[in-house]
Amino acid sequence: MKLRNSLLARSAVVLTVVGFSPLPAAAAADSAPMAGVATTAAAAAMQSRTRRGAQSQAAPEVRTGPEVLAEAQAVVTATNTVCDVVNAVSPGRNGDINIYEVACATGLGHILTDGAQPASRNCIIVAQQAEEYALENPDAPAQVTCTLPENANAEQIMAGYIQSAGVTCQVDQTRWVGRTQSGEERYEVGCAGVDGYWLRVNPAGEYLDRLECIEVTAAGGECTFTTNEEQLAGFQARFASVAPQACTPEAGRFVGANADFRFYEVKCSEGFGFIAQTNPAGEPQGARDCSRPQLVPGGCTLTDSAAAQGAAAEQRAAALAQIGRTCSVNEERIVAVESPADGSPGREIYEFECADQPFGLTGFFPVAGGSGEVEAFDCFTMDARGLECQFVSRDTISNELTRMVTASQRNCNVVDYRVVARMANLEGDVAEVKCDDGRGWFGEFPDDRQAAGQLVPCAAAARQGDECVL
């Protein structure tokens, strides 16, 4: 099972501070806004320059009208800003740079700057940066923010993103996090008492998807509104219905995801921890305690469960011996879990590498609360069930089949095989084997794997209604 870290897999997630410092309300003769990507130090220097300029200039002249609309549209085009401009105003200048505010037919408005390196940022970003600057510089002049009536929709649009993300927690804080190299915006949403999220929005202002904060932090990002205690409380409530035991979470982590499931590990203060799985929407689908082999690479890392796993492996080996299937186990792996139609817990399926089982071996083991009995089949039988063993190769099985065919007085160097069904007495398999000279046989291969039973050439099998396809 191949897992991916969702955060890293979703294009260009590394965030950069877009090169803006808060713009002053008055012109700054000795300053120009930065464009492209800026470092924190450069942004701080820009703030210092714009602050000095703002303190030395008179109130700017606010310009409106068709000329301003045309100028603003040119900057919108130059910066690839997705905006059907319906209104524009120029609240002032920054040295030789014109500042514009535009309202769009849909979505957020923007503050723009022209010049050699035109730039654009939406009204949420502008408001956040202006607020942060005011807190750090309470005596400085107010910064340029969006004031057009059409742009009084930022809170409504942010609420729309939250709704589109399916966030049902009590949202208590939001912030702009940064912009990716592809122009996507990230916003953090804080939740009261549980884990928060990052929301991803495309350059057109359309919601794309969400990332849980535990996923963000696993990839090296930061959620400033979510505490460790909130994440653990959220885990306890979220996985209570599937946890294999009572659990007071002590630690948790996002493990990874594939197309069908998302995986999380929880360390408990009592007993062993577990790995839980959810569907892509985040709804719990099941959990496996750390004393049992995991369905995800690496398994549990927050819980030291080696001793418990060793004891469980010994119990499986003993269960195989009780049904007459000996196995000197070199290695084992869990392959899958049955899914009974009644929704009850299904048996776990393991593959074993056994020195004394040349056809390989798989075992079916009931779990707590489930039904069924212990069963074992070799990898040849499991071919009919679509299971491809990893500890024994098809070439190895083909060589064993050659031995069985030869023992039944037929001449065939088996190079491929296909198991069709179990024999009528359930004591072997009906299969087709392909020989290296192009011929084929169709017949019985008993479970003792000593010699093939009744075999007929493929031509004769076809006359009996058993078609060879290899």
Phi-psi category of residue 34: left, alpha or beta, with phi > 0 → left and psi -120 to 50 → alpha: beta
Tell me which amino acid residue 98 is.
N
With pLDDT > 90 as the criterion, what percentage of the chain qualifies?
A: 51
DSSP bridge pairs for 428: 446
Secondary structure element (H or E) that encloses residue 75, with its range: helix 66-78
Q: Mean pLDDT over residues 51-65, rounded?
A: 59
Among 90-99, 150-159, 335-344, the minimum mean pLDDT is found in: 335-344
The Cα 32–Cα 458 span in angstroms is 84
pLDDT at residue number 16: 31
**Residue given tokens 């849909």 in the structure block:** 106
> DSSP characters for 341-391?
TT-PPPPEEEEEEETT-TT-EEEEE--TT-----EEE-HHHHGGGT---SS
pLDDT at residue number 295: 62
Q: Mean pLDDT over residues 99-116, rounded?
A: 94
The Cα 452–Cα 36 span in angstroms is 73
DSSP bridge pairs for 185: 179, 201
With H, G, I as helix, E, B as strand and everything else as coil, classify residue 271.
coil
pLDDT surpasses 80 at 6: no
Give the number of residues written for the chain. 470
Q: Please, are residues 401 and 441 in contact by the beta-carbon 8 Å criterion?
A: no
Secondary structure element (H or E) that encloses residue 156, with its range: helix 154-164
C-alpha distances in Å from residue 372, one per residue of 16, 245, 318, 321, 333: 55, 22, 17, 17, 20
pLDDT surpasses 80 at 60: no
pLDDT at residue number 447: 93
Give tens-digit pLDDT for 199-225.
999 988 999 999 999 999 888 889 999
pLDDT at residue number 213: 93
DSSP bridge pairs for 430: 421, 444
pLDDT surpasses 80 at 15: no
DSSP bridge pairs for 349: 336, 364
The Cα 447–Cα 449 span in angstroms is 5
H helix intervals, 165-249: 213-218, 228-239
Q: Mean pLDDT over residues 323-331, rounded?
A: 89
Q: Please, are residues 211 and 198 in contact by the beta-carbon 8 Å criterion?
A: yes
Q: Please, are residues 224 and 216 in contact by the beta-carbon 8 Å criterion?
A: no
DSSP bridge pairs for 275: 265, 288
> DSSP characters for 195-216?
--EEEEE-TTS-EEEEEEHHHH
**Residue given tokens 């491809």 in the structure block:** 388
pLDDT at residue number 461: 82
The Cα 260–Cα 237 span in angstroms is 22
Of 223, 218, 222, 221, the C-alpha closest to 194 is 223
pTM of the predicted model, to two decimals? 0.59
With pLDDT > 70 as the criterion, what percentage of the chain qualifies?
A: 86
Helix/strand/coil (H, E, C) string of 281-316?
Answer: CCCEEEEEECCCCCCCCCCCCCCCCHHHHHHHHHHH
Within a 13 Å sphere around the CA of 139, how many CA atoms are in the beta-carbon half?
A: 2
With H, G, I as helix, E, B as strand and everything else as coil, classify residue 77.
helix
The Cα 351–Cα 389 span in angstroms is 7
For the chain, the domains span 14-149, 230-304, 393-470
Residue 446 has φ and ψ, to the nearest 5°, of: -60, 155
Q: Please, are residues 369 and 289 in contact by the beta-carbon 8 Å criterion?
A: no
Give tens-digit pLDDT for 379-433.
999 998 888 899 999 999 999 999 999 999 999 999 999 999 999 888 999 999 9
Give tens-digit pLDDT for 250-306.
999 998 888 888 999 999 988 778 999 998 888 898 888 887 766 677 778 888 777
